[in-house]
Amino acid sequence: MSSQIRVRFAPSPTGLFHVGSARTALFNWLYARNTGGVFVLRIEDTDHERNTPEALEALIKGMRWLGLDWDEGPEAGGDYGPYFQSERTSIYDEYIEKLKASGRTYEKDGALYFKLEGERYTEFDSHLGREVEKVKSAPQVIDDMIRGRVERAEERDFVIVRSSGEPVFHLVNVVDDLTMGITHVIRGEDHLSNTSKHCELFRALGEEPPKFAHIPLILKYSGKGKMSKRDEGALVEQYIEQHYVPDAVRNYLGLLGWSPKNDQEIFTGDEMIREFSFAGVSQSNAKFDHDKLTHMNAEYLRAMPAEQFVEMAKPLFSKDGDALKDLSYFSDVIRLVQPKANRLTEVEGLVGYFFGNEYPTDAKVADRLAKKGDPKEKASAVLDVFEESEDWNAEELDSTCEALATKSGGKKFDYFPVLRFAVSGVGGGPDLMPMLEVMGKKRVTNRLKAFIES
Ligand code: GLU
């Protein structure tokens, strides 16, 4: 056997792709890429009642969107397949036979049980309300890469094949990890309680268990309980639909339970791969902070090259609307709002008035401006000097306004709010002078005229 590290992400496709699962996938991917290992995607689709094709599709789409490429698994193939548990029945049968042959099983009520080794005794179980048979089995020692040494002894024999003939999770999970040559099992802490069963099975099959790393849970922002599917921002699908930057989402998920030695927060994929280690994974649970994720998304949007931002914004505009008629104007406009958007989906709402001449006006802003002198008079004064302007650029326009203000004994900022309102109908937006430059002389002077005549 080679000493190459092999890890796997083993989701059950029963619901949409949850950020908790995505984080587990990410840690597996980071570890594989950090160590030059192999990342396997295995679909644990044995629960026929609850598996859905939509869940599988959401999972594959979400993994690809986050950039978590796998080396073996669905669509990728590999030497250890099939990678769907539903296609591995004959492999499970073979291992069930091995366990039977080694004398570690027995049948009861039609189900196949795994038999623990150790002294047997009976004890009243208050949960079940009856006497049960228990076993003093040797504790399984788990040298967890995150939790350290964990010891746990199973007390009761457990079912490995149901009376329906279906092998249970513990068995198929172990057989797959064994036959797929998995060296490190990285999974959620909710599975820690299963690990002693899994170690029992590995050892009964004559194999040493893989190494384990149980990663802390993700809690709701309030800290009250585990994050659930219904919590805000729980599904990867939502981020795809809302056009988040995939790198930002991956970056945020990476910091849920892991941190580097320094205080760095923004990581490219490669940087995170380089820095990742289990020494940096915390033992305490992480809180999911949707606002922080959105904040990180905004940072990614701002740091992105302008051309990329424009390309990402394009699909959000209707193909036959006004915005995309003049692509060079569109690109200039979108660049203006790049520093303002926290999400790409906000862009459309921020730029409406740049395109077409029909746009709403904010009555509150109009009232506010009317209290500070006649807005039309100010607009007229600006219109006069703008019409004379020969170099239509932000700097020139700024000195033009400056000169106008000096002449009238005021400040240029006395004119700016009226000017902005007259050309946009609102009280805020991108920096005014660069915005006027982009809008162009004709559009700006026409709008000023319309405002004065209104
Ligand atoms: N199918 C299991 C789950 O989704 C996998 C557990 C494991 O990684 O071993 O929780």
pTM (2 d.p.):
0.91
Residues 362, 426: contact at Cβ < 8 Å? Answer: yes
Helix 89-101 with 169-179: angle, nearest 10 deg: 100
The pLDDT tens digits for 349-382 are 999 999 988 889 999 999 999 999 899 999 999 9
Regions of the chain with pLDDT less than 70: 1-2
Average pLDDT, the chain: 95
Question: Exactly one of 229, 364, 372, 407 is catalytic; which is it?
Answer: 229
Q: Determine the pLDDT at residue 2.
A: 61
CA 93, 51, 239 angle in degrees (round to 5)?
A: 135
**How remote is the CA of residue 209 from the centroid of ligand 1, in Å?**
16
- Note if the bond before 82 is cis, omega within 30 degrees: yes
Q: Measuring from each residue's beta carbon to the nearest atom of ligand 1, which residues come in under 6 Å? A: 10-12, 44, 173, 185, 187, 191
**At residue 207, what are phi and psi to the nearest 5 degrees?**
-125, 150
**How remote is the CA of residue 12 from the centroid of ligand 1, in Å?**
7
Active-site residue, 229 included? yes
Residue of minimum CA distance from atom 3 in ligand 1 = 11
Q: Quote the CA–CA distance of 106 and 86 in Å, as a whole number.
A: 25
| Entry field: residues in the chain | 454
The pLDDT tens digits for 395-411 are 999 999 999 999 988 89
Residue of minimum CA distance from atom 5 in ligand 1 = 10
Q: Quote the CA–CA distance of 132 and 158 in Å, as a whole number.
A: 13
